[in-house]
Structure 1
Amino acid sequence: MSAGASALAEGEGATGLRAAAGRPIRLGLRQNAAQFTLLVAVNALVGGMLGQERTVLPLLAERTFDLTAYTAVLTYILAFGLAKALTNYLAGAWSDRYGRKPVLVTGWIVAVPVPLLLIWAPSWGWIVAANVLLGISQGLTWSTTVIMKIDLVGPARRGLAMGLNEAAGYLAVAATALATGYLAAAYGLRPEPFFLGIAYAALGLGLSTLVVRETRDHARLEAQTHPAPAGGRNHPLHEHLTHGQVFVQTSFREPALSSASQAGLVNNLNDGLAWGLFPVLFASSGLGIGRIGVLAALYPAVWGLGQLITGALSDRWGRKPFIVGGMLLQAGALATFAMADTFPIWAVAAVALGAGTAMVYPTLLAAIGDVAHPAWRARSVGIYRLWRDGGFAVGALLAGVLADLYGMRTAVWVVAALTAASGVLAAVRMYETHRPAPPPRGAAAGDHPT
């Protein structure tokens, strides 16, 4: 951002553009610390809603509902992925049209019945229906917290903001997966593990309704200071794009946006495999529920903690090295899962898979924020997340079919190869999207005006 634009962000944000309640609008992590921290907490609750399933549902499919075909077991992930992917797209469009907060609150309302359905489900079809609702809820809530944090922080700390957001969500996934594993070992697969989900939904809805504030005006402020493309309206990334144009640019045409979209899809493809098949793979080797819970928690725990580091470092070193390196590290970790059959080696592979995912997850979102114009950034984030979370559905279907035909380990090998190919494609096609500007003369490191 130029010095003039920085001054405009500070001066206009302080005096020219105000929220509905009369508060001055300013960009920056420090300037919006209270709301940012609140949104981190809300996203932790969003992650906890997902984590309640990670350990228990694959085992529930086998032991309570007597499902033996892997394709049938993974139907709940397929339903979740499709619902979340489509809702991500709608969340971006609705956030631009109606505001961020109404979309966030709606997502929490949809989440309320999910743990109750998981507790009382008399057949597997009810579990699948609960995951449709969970996917819709996750698409609305997680997408909106991402968009709101991007709105608040401005360009200088975007990687750090995404690292904090995703770390909160996936640390909560890990903690809840671990807790539900121990609860299931102590009390059974239902209902006690899902009591956590009831508490998360109540807290998330209450905070989002009563305390979270709208952030759409922050995006409008950044749009005032966003440098226009050299080609003006003839540039493919200018301010005024239709929904269809945003979709085409994000999905296929723009090299960085489309590279991020394909990498996100493959990343969640392998996460769908890990979610649905790994607990069954571990159980087939004789591990108890407690140790399965440890492995199910270890991967998202490293993923969550690692993002606190990788998101901030991508603000200094750029996005592309983390994206390419992270995809290749994930591929190596998946290959290790396919070869191993003992708890210690699986634990090492889980750490490596979490580290690779931590390198990729916040930097892909930050790259989208770098390239997309603030006027249509929420839509671009929604489209990216459409592709990314579509990976859950692709992963569930692919892994289930391959596991049924050729065995679980073959399915893991195939997904490892696809993950490596995605990293190579990003290395060839993607350009670096973030080139940090030097701090203003005389300012201390980190004192960027936005």
Structure 2
Amino acid sequence: MSEMRLGLRENLPQFALLVVLNAFVGAMVGLERTVLPLLGEREFGLSSKTAITSFIVSFGVTKAIINLIAARASDRIGRKPILVVGWLFALPVPFLIIYAPAWWWIDLANVLLGANQAMAWSMTVIMKIDLVGPKRRGLALGLNEFAGYFAVGVMSWVTGYIAAHSALRPQPFYLGIVIAVVGIAVSSLFVRETRPYAHLEAAASPQTSSSVRPSLQNVFYVTSLGNVSLFAACQAGLVNNLNDGMSWGLYPLFFAAYGLGVGSIGIIKAVYPIVWGVLQVVTGPLSDRFGRKE
């Protein structure tokens, strides 16, 4: 077995595989971006926008809680097991949406999707950071977010196109079955565990030589309230995700009310995450050069 070395060039094949894998993670959530709110209104007869957007609440709450648990667990049992389990959560999602007789099935599907995104997306981020080491973390995260959000946008357009030429379900969600199966296979068979790379970096840094781990409560306090810079980052992330949630749940209904077809809505829905993703390729490396705050 070759000696472990930190760096993008030194670990390029595995890094590239994780970039592609996160595109599949993004595509999984992109399945819902155009079609699902319209499905609630047209097939389930929901008139309340609050009821229709309940799936976003179930998704967001689940993702937030499992993000907290999964990241901590990955330090104990490794990144790869969390990644594989995350993809296993994705597999029932398209089936639940395809066969749902009631809207609570959609809410349940989004609980599972939230778990999938929390585990799979977070692990691809952490694993890339493990591989590249401290010098190019911005680039690693930028490429990860580019792949994920670009795929969200593309899949928003693709599902809108399919729905426009067939129906709101089941046809757009057949892709989800393929995506989940590929994600499980790639994560299980080809992705390597990267936790040893984190240990390698920690061993080389005198500032992290202590074997005492901070408690979860302490980490939560520091990142959420105790450190002003981290608090600002959390606040920015909150606002960013609130905007994204509004776009996900309400924009398809808004545009449909003005007479746009589902194909056109899919094109509009694709623009936001594609621009978001493409700009990550620029901002990620810039943060390595000029700093995160700037």
- Give the TM-score normalised by structure 2: 0.97
What is aligned with 1:270?
243
Q: Select which of 134, 146, 155 maps to 2:125.
A: 146
Structure 2: distance between partners of 1:96 and 1:30: 24
CA spacing shift, 1:142–1:262, aligned 2, 3 Å: same
Structure 2: gaps spanning 5 or more residues: none
1:55 aligns with 2:55: no
Q: Structure 1: which 4+ aligned runs deviate by more than 6 Å?
A: none
Structure 1 vs Structure 2 CA RMSD: 1.5
Structure 1: distance between partners of 2:192 and 2:183: 14
Mapping for residues 57-72 of structure 1, pairs under 5 Å:
57-72=36-51
1:83 aligns with 2:62: yes
What is aligned with 1:247?
220
1:181 aligns with 2:160: yes
Structure 1: gaps spanning 5 or more residues: 1-21, 322-450
Structure 2: distance between partners of 1:206 and 1:311: 29
What is aligned with 2:266?
293
What is aligned with 1:206?
185
Aligned length: 294
Structure 2: distance between partners of 1:256 and 1:154: 22
Q: Which has the higher contact order (CA 8 A, sep 6+)?
A: 2
Structure 1: distance between partners of 2:207 and 2:284: 26
What is aligned with 2:105?
126
TM-superposed deviation, 1:245: 1.2
> Over residues 121-166 of structure 1, what are the superposed CA-to-partner deviations in whole Å (9 max), with x where a residue is unaligned?
0110101100000001111111111110111111111111001001
Structure 2: distance between partners of 1:289 and 1:23: 51
Q: Select which of 64, 71, 88 maps to 1:109.
A: 88
Q: What is the letter of the counterpart of residue 193 of structure 1?
A: P
TM-superposed deviation, 1:180: 0.2
Percent identical across equivalent pairs? 56
Mapping for residues 4-19 of structure 1, pairs under 5 Å:
none
Structure 2: distance between partners of 1:124 and 1:203: 28
Structure 1: distance between partners of 2:140 and 2:165: 38
Structure 2: distance between partners of 1:91 and 1:68: 36
Q: Select which of 287, 290, 294 maps to 1:317.
A: 290
TM-superposed deviation, 1:239: 6.3
What is aligned with 1:376?
none
TM-superposed deviation, 1:226: 2.6
Structure 1: distance between partners of 2:142 and 2:250: 27
> Over residues 77-100 of structure 1, what are the superposed CA-to-partner deviations in whole Å (9 max), with x where a residue is unaligned?
000000111110111111011000
Q: What is the letter of the counterpart of residue 287 of structure 1?
A: L
> Over residues 48-105 of structure 1, what are the superposed CA-to-partner deviations in whole Å (9 max), with x where a residue is unaligned?
1000000000100110011111111110000000011111011111101100000000
Q: Secondary structure at the match of 1:228?
A: helix
Q: Select which of 257, 263, 269 maps to 2:230.
A: 257
TM-superposed deviation, 1:300: 0.6
What is aligned with 1:36?
15
Q: What is the letter of the counterpart of residue 318 of structure 1?
A: G
